């Protein structure tokens, strides 16, 4: 009941709140991004969602356009020259994630759930084991169990294992715990630098 109704209602209400209340902040961010570098304000990227279906995830653009074609692939760290000046601020505060509230409102995502992987990284959907594929039994999230237990500092096998654990134990109390434990992670920018074997993005 919680997963199929109350969780969705809470997601919709919170998404509307996050999209409407900070509108002046979004305008400032959009202007800063456009002044800092050429390209769109929003970055769009295909991800794997509920049931392994592909959807387009939104973020504030924090890298130069065509970053993945500039020789460093999906890996990104604090020395990456592809990250713009404004982008570094957005990433360090996780403000770049806010447009994912659009995905939540559309039903592509939830606020709490496994992070949606790229369609090709760490591997294509058909290469996940049956156990690993269970992470797609719920909507992906903006934050989740794996994000409060290592985030990008842990390898993909462990990250997926933590996501499957969430699927098996999902409850309102677990979501509340994840929400409140995410706050200090964001404020301290903890575990927010990719390891070579755990990186999952050029723009995440």
**CB contact at 8 A, 204 and 61:** no
Map tokens 């009941």 to a residue. Answer: 1
Alpha helix locations (H) across the chain?
Answer: 7-20, 23-36, 85-93, 100-106, 156-169, 172-188
**Which residues have a Cβ under 8 Å from the Cβ of 4 and sit 6 or more positions away?**
none
Residue with tokens 């995502």: 109
Q: How many separate domains does the chain show?
A: 1
Task: Report the distance separating Cα 117 and Cα 127, nearest Å.
Answer: 13
Of 20 and 198, the one with more pLDDT: 20
Assigned token pair, 38: 């050429």
C-alpha distances (whole Å) from 11 to each of 4, 18, 32, 154 are 11, 10, 29, 27
Q: Classify residue 101: in a domain, yes or no.
A: yes
> Is residue 201 situated within a structural domain?
no
Three-state secondary structure call for residue 5 = helix
Helix ranges (H only) for 37-137 are 85-93, 100-106
| Strand (E) or helix (H) holding 28 | helix 23-36
Residue 47 sits at φ, ψ, to 5 deg, of -130, 165
Percent of the chain at pLDDT above 70? 86
pTM: 0.87
According to the model, what pLDDT value does residue 3 have?
72
What is the reported pLDDT for 203? 43
- The mean predicted confidence, pLDDT, of the chain is 88
Residue 168 lies in a domain: yes
Domain span holding position 127: 2-188
Residues with Cβ < 8 Å from 58, sequence gap 6 or more?
42, 43, 44, 99, 100, 102, 103
Is residue 194 in some structural domain? no
Query: Mind listing the pLDDT tens digit for each residue in 25-72?
Result: 999 999 999 999 999 999 999 999 999 999 999 999 999 987 766 555
């Amino acid at each position: 009941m919680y997963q199929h109704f109350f969780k969705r209602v809470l997601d919709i209400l919170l998404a509307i709140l996050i999209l409407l209340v900070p509108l002046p902040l979004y305008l400032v961010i959009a202007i800063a991004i456009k002044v800092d570098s050429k390209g769109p304000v929003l970055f769009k990227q295909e991800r794997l969602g509920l049931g392994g279906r592909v959807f387009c995830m939104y973020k504030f653009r924090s890298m130069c356009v065509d970053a993945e074609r500039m020789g460093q692939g999906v890996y990104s760290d604090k020395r990456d020259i592809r990250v713009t000046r404004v982008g570094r601020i957005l990433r360090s505060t996780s403000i770049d994630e806010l447009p994912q509230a659009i995905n939540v409102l559309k039903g592509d995502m939830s606020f709490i759930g496994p992070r949606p992987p790229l369609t090709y990284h760490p591997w294509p959907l058909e290469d996940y084991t049956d156990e690993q594929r269970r992470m797609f039994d719920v909507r992906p999230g903006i934050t989740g169990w794996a994000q409060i237990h290592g985030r990008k500092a842990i390898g993909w096998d462990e990250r997926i294992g933590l996501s499957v654990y969430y699927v098996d134990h999902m409850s309102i109390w677990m979501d509340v715990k994840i929400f409140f434990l995410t706050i200090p992670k964001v404020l301290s920018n903890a575990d927010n630098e990719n390891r070579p074997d755990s990186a999952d993005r050029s723009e995440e």
